[in-house]
Each structure stands twice: as structure tokens, then as C-alpha cells.
Amino acid sequence: MEKRFHIPRIPGDTIVYPMIIGVLLNSFCPQILQMGSFFTSVVGGTGALVGAFLFFLGASIDIKSTPKAIKKGAVIIVTKIALSIILGLLAAFLFNDNFLGLSALAIIGGISVANNALYSGITSEYGDDSDKGAVAITSLSVGPTVTMIVLSSAGLASISIGPIIGSILPLVLGIILGNFFPFMKKTLSAGVTACIIVVGFALGANMSIMQLIQGGLSGILLGVITSLVVGVVTMLADKATGGSGVAGAAISSTAASAVANPSALAEVDPKYALIAPTAAAQIASSVIITSFVTPLFAGWVYKHFGKKK
């Protein structure tokens, strides 16, 4: 009887496992990554891969939603982004860009982008129709655009307007094609998972085991801050605008795609090249931590507030 090697599923595994493979290759036999041709091009082409991912992801976003869902989605995602900016800038200016090992790049890049698949799963169980429909708006906050704009505006990065527009253009083009041409939506949406697997490998191939270890504890801290500190505020913002708080709690996670944000910024501002791998490792830890903590927090909010409502 044929035996197959079973790999356990974990939250964010589509990017975490390929990243680990890339890290191991780069740590123990980096010469393999420099064989040349297409393979080496993949390792050095994270910018292009992230652009392709955003294009596919944009095509999967449905911009049709009810007014109530639009309002709810805007409230919780704007609150989440605002908090990521405040916390990131506090770390940059009050703690010399090192708050317990976390940089502004890791904080803004990790907190501003939510795991919308996880959000949909939570709201399908605990939320109402407006909670579920809000994902059409929360899905718009993907990619490195927020991080680029904030760090550039604060004088922490030297980025011209061109790269900032270019960072969101693939997403916009994907949204246009996916919403105007149904067959394109179906075709391009199917490439999201496959693309993020390749992105994960490319990111890992530019990290070392030491950087992954360094990102561990501080990455766990980032996950806790995202789920419980930021999550409490987004939950309260949801309740203050007429919601049950479930949507606000469900948005308190880090998306797997956020792991690519540091390398995307390093592409346009080389001074971030040294800390980008550590920031990516911290964000990867946050992806895993929030995948477990956010559903528990949302369940607690539903039990105490959602059922009553």
C-alpha cells in the first residue's frame, strides 16, 4: 500500500511552508538559488510576483455591496489602518524605530492588512448580512500602498509618487477586469493561491534562519497587538456605529499577503533592505498568531454582544 507524507495544515500555510523551504535553501545551500535562468529570476523577482498577486487578488474582489455593508466595512478597515499608522509612527519617533524589536515597517505593514478569508469565515458563523458584505470594502486594503504612503509622508522613506501609484495599480486593474468581465474574474481568481505560494518561496529565499528566529518573539507580540489591542478598538468602533462588534473583532488579523510588504518597500527604497527580512518574519509570525487568536476573540464578542443584539 502506498504511503504518502502528510503535511499538517496550519493557518497561513500557503505562504508559511514555501517560505520555510526558501529559508532552508538560502541558509544551507544558497548556491542552488543562484543556478541562473528562471529559477534565480524567481528568487530575485519578489516585486513582480507581488504585483501579479495583487492583480489576481483584485479580480476576486466584488465591489457590489449594500450601503450598510459599505459603511461597516469602511468604519472597521479605516479604524484598523489608522491604528496601524499611529502605532507605527509612535515606534518610529518615540522608540527610535525599535519597539521591543518591532519597526514601523513591521507594525504598519502587518496591522494594516487584514486576513479577509478569515474575516469571511468568522462573519459567516457569527455575523449578519452587513457583516458578511463588508468584506467587499475591507478587501481593498491589501498590498504595500498604505505602508509606502505613511513612511514616505513621515519622512521615513524616500519614495516618489510613481512607485506609490504603481503599488496599487495592479489591484485596481484586477478589480476592473474582474467586475466587468465575469469570465476574467473566474480565471484570475483561481491564480491567487498559486501566486502566493510562489511569493512565499521567493520571500523565504531572501531570508536566513537567524532572521526567522529573531522575528519569532517580536512577531508573536505583533500578533497579540493586532488581535487584542487593535481588535478591541475596531470592535468598539463597530459597536459605536450600530454594529454588534463582531465585524470589528473579525477584522483584527494579519493577512498572509502582508508578508510581502517589507520586500515591496525595499524594492523602492533600498535603505529598508536590511530590516525587510526581519520585518517579513515578524509579520509571518503575526499571521499565524492572529489566525488562532482572532476567531477566539470574535467568538467572545459574539457571545457577549452579538447574541443580545
- The residue among 298, 300, 283, 297 whose CA lies nearest residue 102 is 283
What type of residue sits at position 112?
Answer: S
Fold of 15-22+45-306: Na+/H+ antiporter like fold (1.20.1530)
Q: How far is Cα 261 from Cα 199, in angstroms, rounded to an integer?
A: 11
- Sequential pLDDT tens for the chain (309 residues): 456 667 776 555 676 788 788 888 988 988 888 888 888 888 877 778 877 877 887 787 777 766 787 889 899 999 999 999 999 999 999 999 899 989 999 999 999 988 877 787 788 788 887 887 787 778 777 777 788 888 888 787 777 777 777 767 887 888 889 888 888 888 888 887 888 788 778 877 877 777 667 677 899 999 999 999 999 999 999 999 888 899 999 999 888 778 888 888 888 888 888 888 889 889 988 888 887 888 889 889 998 876 655
SS3 159: coil
Tell me the pTM: 0.73
CA dihedral 289, 148, 88, 227 (to 10 degrees): -20
Q: Give me the helices (H) in 63-157, please.
A: 67-94, 104-111, 116-126, 129-133, 135-138, 145-153
What type of residue sits at position 199?
Answer: V
pLDDT of residue 307: 61
Q: How far is Cα 291 from Cα 224, in angstroms, rounded to an integer?
A: 11
The domains of the chain are located at 15-22+45-306
pLDDT of residue 4: 67
Q: Give yes or no for a contact between 285 and 216, defined as CB atoms under 8 angstroms apart.
A: yes
Given its phi and psi angles, is residue 141 left (phi above 0), alpha (psi -120 to 50 degrees) or beta?
beta
Q: Give yes or no for a contact between 53 and 188, defined as CB atoms under 8 angstroms apart.
A: no
